[in-house]
A and B are shown apart, each in its own frame.
Chain A
Amino acid sequence: MNRRILSSAFVLLVLCSALFAQEIDFRGNFITQAGVGLPNTHHNSGDFIIGQTSFDSTFRVYTDETMLYVNTILLYDALAGQSSNGVSAFVSDNNDFSLQLKEAYFDWRGEVLALRVGRQISAWGKADDVQIVDILCPQDASADYVNDYQDNRHGIDAVRLSYIGESTQTDFYWIPFFTPSTLPLADGNPLHDVMFSDDNAPDSYKDFDRPDRDLSSCEYAARFSAYLPSFDFSLYGFYGWDDMPFTTEEMEGKYKRMSMVGADAAIPAGDFVFRLESAFFPQRYIQASEGGTKRRNQIMALGGVDWTPAGGWTITAQYVADVVTGSDSPLDRHTYEHFATLSVEKPFLNETLTLSGSFAMDLRYFSTNTEIVADYKLTDSITLSLKGEFYFEGPDKEGEFGGYKDLSYIALKAKYSF
């Protein structure tokens, strides 16, 4: 009943806004995709491991200096693999439908101050598809084998106050309600078996001990960014909660406090743009291998380069290091982990066909992830894509990407944009 009242109030709010608006913009896309496990994926071989149809719509209402922005996704999953984190989506009981409220906020811009209130997505950092300082918005970890990194961000319920200069911007965030990552809790989700063993699999997000909804549990964040002729740089600060739960010694899921300070820079030089990013997490909770947590200092850092030579080529390379202090034991990870990525993209036929490939390798065990995509624009509105996603273990051990080896697939996707 409460849901029905809330939904009605929300629709009423949008309709009233539209009524008094000076300008309304409605756009979005419809996507249908299916993917099949490759022959080396054991029990997934020949099985569908992707079967989704989604309707993604964005509604913008402009009045004077204010914009109302609402983005929702209605999704049908033929594999019944949809899960909820209790905040970002309603999911049907049999896990095949989800209705996601990705963002819903109003944005006001004055001379030097700006305010954004409501559910919103902010992307931090200069890294591509790597989470270092980009910790403000939690990830949908139940969909990261289907979607691109940027599509998996959840909106956070926040108040964002900005001070805007000619070439600088300072943002302050107050996040009253914690939003956790979404985990692949549904049995139909191919990631479920990768993330959980049968004996410790939770059934619902309600099985996790979440932060209280009170003032003492709020999150706070700030960012300062400067955009200068020779380079851009940003400074970040965050005090809040780790978006992923930890398993306690009693084998229960619990969220822990986390803080972070970070910085990044982008430096153009001819056809190149060099990118740097680093974050320090003081006394961060780290999962222990036998359950429970240990507190350690953690530093993550990235060095990357974008190269755009003539001919429409875009080539990007990154190196990422992740270090925690102390010894490996009893952590559920190594104290030093590092990996590298390489991606290449090139358009053809007056940009009707785009071929792209990306490759990532963990440099401890040399496990790899390779993604190859061909996008063909049938019309300005319709794009057809063929995608291959390949995971391989390292020569001696499974490694970071080897755990996904049974999720290698080839998929077809059709997208209609309106």
Chain B
Amino acid sequence: MRKLIIICAVIMLAAVTSVPAQTAQEIAKAVYDLPDGNTSSHVAVLTLIDKAGKSRVREIAQYNMKDGTTKKCVTVFRSPKDVAGVSYLSFDYPDNPDGSLKDSDSWLYLPAMKKVRRVSGSSKDDDFQGTDFTYDDMGDRSLGKDTFAILGEETVDGISCWKLEYTAKDKGAKISRRVLWIGKDNYVTYKGEYYDKQNKLFKTMECQDIAQIDGYWTTKKMIMTTLTTNHKTVYEMKDIQYDNDINPAFFTVSALEREQVK
């Protein structure tokens, strides 16, 4: 009788305390949907460091705005000086209802050419301006590009994380597989490993200085290291603001052409 009571108590306790297990897809969606305000802006300093320790610095200003389901983003280069004023406007759309990808609309303004150029919005696997980050790493990589699996659970710097695997559906993709450590409490990425087509570890990402700003989780420093070249990029954010008053006119081609965003 006493044994039955104990078993019943354990079952009841388990029923009360257990939370329905999340699927890998649900975790990936929660990461993708992590709140970041209706508007936001920041300045990013990217320090490129080669294997000899020689460094180069890029500084960009970035402004973001949500317009319905469309994410609008304008990026302006402040340095190096030979590309200062180059600006890039993109409208990112959610995937189509059938799960297929919808290309972004993108425009590039080059001050030397004095005109805005429509550019392809499909390829985001390329490196961003010589850094170790790709355009996808810098933004929100579409969920439709990958399949997902939970590889396990691990602790990173005392934070309990899921080890989530993103496998690219495109078999020709330069990065075939990403393994990201996702905080179980906040869905923030704490570190990452990127594997090439031969499934060899290609680059690693460390995330530091993670904190809430105005209630939004923010990673203020990321270090991406390409192992084959021993080249790394340190990405640091400053002047971070959320839900701030950004002129909607910034997100127009006219603003790029008039060099209004700086």
Contact = CB atoms under 8 A, between A and B. Distances in A.
A229 B57 contact: no
Contacts of B50: 350
Nearest to A225: B253
B113 interface: yes
Contacts of B48: 350
What range describes how many residues of B lie at the interface?
35 or more
A271 B118 contact: no
A395 interface: no
A271 B170 CA distance: 15
A67 B82 contact: no
What range describes how many residues of A lie at the interface?
35 or more
Contact of B120 (A123, A270, A350): A270
A122 interface: yes
A226 B205 CA distance: 40
Given A153-B114, A169-B253, A417 B81 contact: yes
Interface stretch (A8-16, A308-316, A365-373): A308-316
A231 B125 CA distance: 23
Contacts of A27: 81, 84
A232 B115 CA distance: 13
A207 interface: no
Contacts, number: 108
B197 to A, nearest CB: 12
B125 A310 contact: yes
A227 B107 CA distance: 9
Contacts of B249: 109, 164
A53 interface: no
Nearest to A112: B249
B254 interface: yes
A196 interface: no
Contacts of B253: 167, 169, 225, 227, 232
B103 interface: yes
A312 B174 contact: no
B259 A67 contact: yes
Nearest to A308: B120
A167 to B, nearest CB: 7
Contacts of B112: 150-151
A129 B112 CA distance: 13
B81 A418 contact: yes
Contact of B82 (A151, A311, A383): A383
Interface string A62-101: 0000010000000000000000000000000000000000
A41 to B, nearest CB: 29
Contacts of B231: 350
A380 B79 contact: yes
Interface in B105-141: 105-107, 112-115, 117-123, 125-127, 129-131
A164 B259 contact: no
Contacts of A350: 48, 50, 127, 130-131, 231
A381 B121 CA distance: 30
Interface in B63-116: 79-82, 84, 91, 103, 105-107, 112-115
A43 B121 CA distance: 49
A380 B252 contact: no
Contacts of B56: 377, 379-380
A298 interface: no
Given A310-B126, A380-B82, 8 more contacts: A121-B114, A122-B114, A125-B115, A162-B254, A164-B254, A167-B253, A310-B123, A352-B130
Interface of B: 48, 50, 56-57, 79-82, 84, 91, 103, 105-107, 112-115, 117-123, 125-127, 129-131, 172, 174, 231, 249, 252-254, 257-260, 262
7 contacts: A107-B258, A122-B114, A124-B115, A266-B118, A270-B120, A350-B48, A350-B130
Interface of A: 25, 27, 29, 60, 67, 107, 109, 114, 121-126, 150-151, 153, 162, 164, 166-167, 169, 225, 227, 229, 231-232, 266, 268, 270-273, 306, 308-312, 347, 350-352, 377, 379-381, 383, 415, 417-418
Closest 10 CB pairs of A and B: A351-B130, A380-B80, A417-B82, A266-B118, A123-B115, A350-B130, A123-B114, A417-B81, A227-B253, A169-B254
